[in-house]
């Protein structure tokens, strides 16, 4: 214990310690212990802390007090803040405190400032935003994603499934929802490394045109199509989804909507409508929220520039102006929490190689992002929606959803 | 053919005939032939008409030209307008013409005028509005509903099911979505004749408190509970859903939301939230729309005063302000078209007894209402949504929806 801390010992806290106490009170007293650079220990209550947060220098502490959510992440990334305990459980504690005590006023203010700041995803900025994240290199993602290179929520038909099996199960769940029949045509918006497109073509006998603006991913997908002998039935197009042309029996988009931007939803809906035949089906798989709320500022700055996570009401602006009937909405929230636990474990297993590719700060930044996302799905801060739609006039519909399960 | 019609014969139409032609052109040329009181025949095109509409006197024709949708229904009810052909197919033709040619501008105007006119469902007007429809007499509904007295959309696991079996299947589908376990408690808002409440108590071992403001229905439900020996586990409360108190493992409402009024949705959501335990489930089964649109004016005046049919975005105002997570949305639109075909057939079978109870005009009014509703569900003018929700923090969730189907 340093002398400064010792001198204040029993009598109370330093000025910064008192500020931090006040902040924790405002945050509804999360069960977390902070260790300040002086060695001073600060908690908001007497409960056993879920984790310790060690702030290693005065600069990090000052910044944390000024802008806590954002600067915690920046300080953790820089190595100026260390966590003793499970990072994801720590973040979960903050989420739970916020929800259990309600925070509607702060929420409204956040939304207001977010609406003013929201950046649009024009064709050019979209390209920049996508490159920022998805072009970190296929070698990087291959280190910790499952062998299908699926970077979206898996579907665990049982908790015993491996991540790889659950990712494959997700592809079949999507295909069954779309009721794909041999000879039909499918367009995919935002195809990642292409595994869904290849699976649909191979196992359901459909033709697929798959769009993506990530150069690295498209190159990898084309190679995989060629290796699988599917390059005559799957076309990977390096282009923005807004340039999709033609009519298809199915439109599918898994994990792209997060990057579309809410202001662009009606335009996306027009595209879905005009891309579908009169009996066509469309499926959008996306992270969602229970109510409108801006994406965490740090995540938007460091991880997903341009990303926006919609509520179902916000998603409705895709469908409602465009005579699209919503047939089915399924919330797979907990599946994403499980998916993220797999990713966190394999990311930690690969951290030395990731550090060689980038640096230690990058490892910490991504560790924090994955831990925070797991906490968000465990606490209901985030949801995962699969929404199935069809043109309003389509009466070629199954009576029940049994076909998804009776296999 | 009258002399007036004959004199204009080949050369053209009467003034009113020309006005009607103009009107049909504005309605995107439905394939319908009108026979005017003079005997003059008016169609908008050369296609074979789906039905003939005979206007029997000048007053009905004048009114029809001034306010077509509303006065068609009024004239049909009065017996001043007759239809040769299937009434439901006739209405379907008008819906299809409107959709296939788009009518967004007319739509916006309609919505504006509807918002200005919308009446609120206060506790008092709600009671009036509900009595108008549901207190026509249990004997009346017993004439043409299935034996379970279910006056909501059934669930046809196969097209071969009888209506009665499909209504029972609907109750079990709802119970399975709610994952009811023996010993749990359920509150039902708007319980009709009480059959769902009784089925849940008998087959799932739960206790049910069921609310309804229809005096006739509550009396009948209580008697049924007593006869079934379930009156110790099912309590029928003659009161407004807004007076529900207590906490329950499940909240269920089948076919009531249509009468709640969109302005009251956030209040309903608060009620759902405060009525549910932390692992509680809520299910709302309601007629819906693909996009906001006022309910047909005639239906609101003659059949369902105070009713409003929401889009999913409008329904979101129940859930999004109240930390309720949407787990599952299922659209059962075609099931309501099938249900209505059963009701239409049995209503026609009972028409003489209905005429004795009321009069011929009542028979025509209800025939038109049932035919129009069938057309609305066949064409996608109306949807049927079942929405399952839970408090945000509830992680006691099934991984899949297999339990709904693997029985």
Choice among A301-305, B67-71, B141-145 with the minimum mean pLDDT: A301-305
Predicted confidence (pLDDT) at residue B141 exceeds the cutoff of 90: yes
Q: Which of B395, B397, B398 to mutate to test the interface with A (most CBs of A within 10 A)?
A: B395
Which positions in chain B touch A96 (Cβ < 8 Å)? 393
Which chain B residues are Cβ-neighbours of A394 within 8 angstroms? 380
Inter-chain CB proximity B290 and A328 less than 8 Å: no
In this structure, how many other beta carbons lie within 10 angstroms of the beta carbon of residue B295?
A: 19
Q: Which of A247, A265, A389 minimizes the C-alpha distance to A329?
A: A389
Q: Work out the minimum CA distance from A204 to partner chain B, whole angstroms.
A: 22
Q: Which residue of A has its CA nearest to B289?
A: A325
Give tens-digit pLDDT for B19-42: 999 999 888 899 999 999 999 999
Higher pLDDT, A138 or B333: B333
Q: Which residues of B touch A325 (CB under 8 A)?
A: 290, 331, 333, 380, 383
Of 2.30.30, 3.30.70, 3.30.420, 3.30.1050, which CATH number belongs to B3-111?
Answer: 3.30.1050
CB contact under 8 A, A333 and B319: no
Which chain B residue's Cα is nearest to A104? B321
Please tell me the predicted confidence (pLDDT) of residue A389. 98
The angle formed by the CA atoms of residues B362, B368 and B374, to the nearest 5 degrees, is 135
* Res B118: pLDDT: 41
Compute the nearest-CA separation of B318 from chain A (Å): 11
Rounded to an integer, the average pLDDT of A265-285 is 98
Collect all residues with Cβ–Cβ distance below 8 Å to B133 and sequence separation of at least 6.
B303, B304, B305
What confidence score (pLDDT) does residue B103 get?
53
Q: Among all residues of chain A, which has the CA nearest to that of B96?
A: A393
Q: Which of A312, A379, A402 sits opposite B405 (nearest CB)?
A: A402
Tokens 């990058």 found at: A362
Of the candidate ranges A108-117, A362-371, B1-10, the one whose mean pLDDT is the lowest: A108-117
Residues of B in contact with A397 (CB under 8 A): 333-334
Q: What is the mean pLDDT of chain B?
A: 90
pLDDT of residue B138: 87
Residue of B nearest to A107 (CA): B321
Residue A33 or residue A105, greater confidence: A33
**Segment among A31-40, B4-13, B188-197 with least mean pLDDT:** B4-13
Distance in Å, alpha carbon of A257 to nearest chain B alpha carbon: 18
What is the tally of helices (H) and strands (E) in chain A? Answer: 17, 11
Q: What angle do CA A282, A288, A289 make, to 5 degrees?
A: 145
Average pLDDT over residues A296-323: 93
CA distance B61 to chain A (A): 32
Q: How far is A4 from chain B (nearest CA, A)?
A: 42
| Nearest CB to A99 within list B292, B383, B393 | B393
Q: Is the dihedral of CA B68, B69, B72, B73 positive or negative?
A: negative
Distance CA B49, CA B45 (A): 9
Of B323, B379, B380, the CB nearest to A290: B323
Classify domain A123-405 at the CATH superfamily level.
Vaccinia Virus protein VP39 (3.40.50.150)
pLDDT of residue A102: 59
Predicted local distance difference test score (pLDDT) of residue A104: 41
Whether residues B326 and A290 touch (CB distance < 8 A) is answered with yes
DSSP B324-366: EEEEEEEE-HHHHHHHHHHHHHHHHHTHHHHHHHS-HHHHHHH
Per the listing, tokens 């290693």 go with A56
Mean pLDDT along residues A99-111: 49
Instruction: For residue A290, give the nearest of B157, B320, B380 by CB distance.
Output: B320
Q: Which residue of B has its CA nearest to A102?
A: B323
- Out of B333, B399, B401, closest to residue A401 by CB: B401
CA angle A103, A108, A109 (to 5 degrees): 105
Q: How far is CA B102 from CA A395, B27, B96, B277, in A?
A: 19, 10, 10, 45
Tell me if A399 and B156 make a contact (CB, 8 A cut-off).
yes
Q: Any idea where the domains of chain B sit in the sequence? A: 3-111, 123-405
pLDDT of residue B155: 98
Band (pLDDT 50/70/90 cuts) for residue B164 is very high
Q: Which residues contact A3 (CB under 8 A, 6 or more apart)?
A: none
The Cα of A327 is separated from the nearest Cα of chain B by a number of Å equal to 5
- Flag the least confident range among A172-186, A227-241, B289-303: B289-303
Tell the residue number behind the tokens 């831990």, with chain if given.
A371
Is B331 close to A327, i.e. CB distance below 8 A? yes
B32/B93 Cα distance (integer angstroms): 8
Contacts of A405 in chain B (CB under 8 A): 400-402, 404-406
- Integer Cα distance of A72 and B372 in angstroms: 60
Name which of B14, B40, B44, B22 is nearest B32 in CA terms. Answer: B44
Task: Indicate yes or no: CB of B380 within 8 angstroms of CB of A325.
Answer: yes
pLDDT at B115: 37
Q: How far apart are CA B131 and CA B125, in angstroms?
A: 10
Question: Scanning every residue of chain A, which has its alpha carbon at the shortest distance from the alpha carbon of B278?
Answer: A100
- Chain A residues whose CB is inside 8 A of the B395 CB are 334, 378
Interface contact A329-B334, CB threshold 8 A:
no
Reply yes or no on whether the pLDDT at A62 is more than 50: yes
Backbone angles phi, psi at B163, to 5 degrees: -60, -45
Q: Tell whether the model's pLDDT for residue A114 goes beyond 70.
A: no
Q: How far is A360 from chain B (nearest CA, A)?
A: 34
**Partner-chain contact B399 A330, CB within 8 Å:** no
Chain B nearest CA to A292, separation (Å): 8
Coil/strand/helix, residue A225? helix
Closest Cβ opposite residue A326 in set B312, B397, B402: B312
Per-range mean pLDDT, top range of A140-154, A294-308, B96-110? A140-154
Mind giving me the DSSP string for A340-353? HHHHHHHHHHTHHH
Q: Which residues contact B396 (CB under 8 A, 6 or more apart)?
A: B279
Q: Pairing state of beta strands A51-55 and A81-84?
A: antiparallel
Q: Give the minimum alpha-carbon distance from B369 to chain A in angstroms, rounded to a whole number.
A: 21
Q: Model confidence over B209-260: pLDDT tens digits?
A: 999 998 889 999 999 999 999 999 999 999 999 999 999 999 999 999 999 9
Of B294, B379, B290, which is closest to residue B30 (Cα–Cα)?
B379
Kindly state the greatest CA–CA separation across chain B.
Answer: 79
Which of B327, B334, B379 is opposite residue A393, by nearest beta carbon?
Answer: B379
Contacts of B385 in chain A (CB under 8 A): 326
- Do the Cβ atoms of A158 and B100 come within 8 Å? no
In this structure, of A126-130, B8-12, B163-167, B318-322, the range with the lowest mean pLDDT score is: B8-12
Q: Please report where in the chains the tokens 């499940």 appear, as a residue.
A: B250
In this structure, of A104-118, A323-337, A357-371, the range with the lowest mean pLDDT score is A104-118
Q: What is the mean pLDDT of residues A264-285?
A: 98
């Amino acid at each position: 214990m340093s002398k400064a801390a010792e001198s204040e010992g029993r009598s109370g806290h330093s000025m910064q310690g008192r500020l931090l106490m006040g902040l924790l009170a405002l945050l509804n007293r999360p069960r977390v212990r902070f260790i300040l650079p002086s060695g001073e220990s600060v908690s908001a209550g007497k409960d056993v802390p879920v984790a310790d947060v060690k702030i290693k220098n005065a600069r990090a502490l000052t910044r944390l007090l000024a802008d806590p959510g954002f600067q915690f992440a920046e300080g953790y990334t820089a190595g100026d803040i260390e966590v003793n305990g499970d990072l994801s459980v720590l973040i979960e504690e903050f989420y739970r405190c916020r929800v259990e005590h309600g925070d509607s006023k702060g929420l409204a203010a956040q939304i207001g400032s977010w609406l003013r700041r929201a950046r649009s995803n024009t064709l050019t900025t979209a390209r920049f935003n996508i490159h920022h994240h998805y072009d970190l290199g296929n070698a990087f993602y291959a280190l910790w994603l499952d062998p299908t290179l699926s970077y979206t929520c898996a579907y665990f038909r049982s908790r015993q499934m491996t991540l790889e099996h659950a990712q494959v199960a997700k592809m079949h769940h999507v295909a069954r929802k779309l009721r794909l029949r041999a000879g039909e045509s499918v367009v995919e918006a935002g195809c990642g490394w292409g595994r869904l497109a290849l699976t649909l073509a191979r196992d359901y006998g459909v033709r697929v045109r798959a769009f993506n603006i990530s150069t690295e991913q498209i190159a990898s997908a084309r190679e995989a199509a060629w290796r699988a002998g599917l390059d005559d039935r799957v076309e990977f197009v390096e282009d923005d989804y807004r340039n999709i042309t033609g009519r298809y029996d199915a439109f599918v988009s898994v994990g792209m909507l997060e990057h579309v931007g809410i202001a662009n939803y009606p335009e996306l809906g027009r595209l879905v409508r005009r891309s579908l035949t009169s009996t066509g089906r469309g499926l959008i798989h996306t992270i969602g929220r229970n109510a409108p709320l801006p994406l965490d500022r740090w995540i938007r700055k460091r991880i997903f520039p341009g990303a926006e996570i919609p509520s179902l009401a916000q998603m409705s602006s895709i469908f409602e102006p465009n005579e699209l009937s919503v047939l089915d909405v399924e919330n797979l929230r907990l599946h994403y929490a499980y998916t993220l636990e797999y990713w966190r474990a394999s990311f930690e297993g690969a951290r030395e190689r990731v550090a060689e590719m980038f640096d230690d700060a990058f490892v910490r930044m991504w560790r924090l992002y994955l831990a925070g996302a797991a906490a968000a799905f465990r606490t209901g801060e985030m949801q995962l929606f699969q929404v199935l739609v069809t043109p309003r006039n389509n009466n070629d519909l199954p009576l029940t959803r049994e076909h998804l399960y009776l296999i």
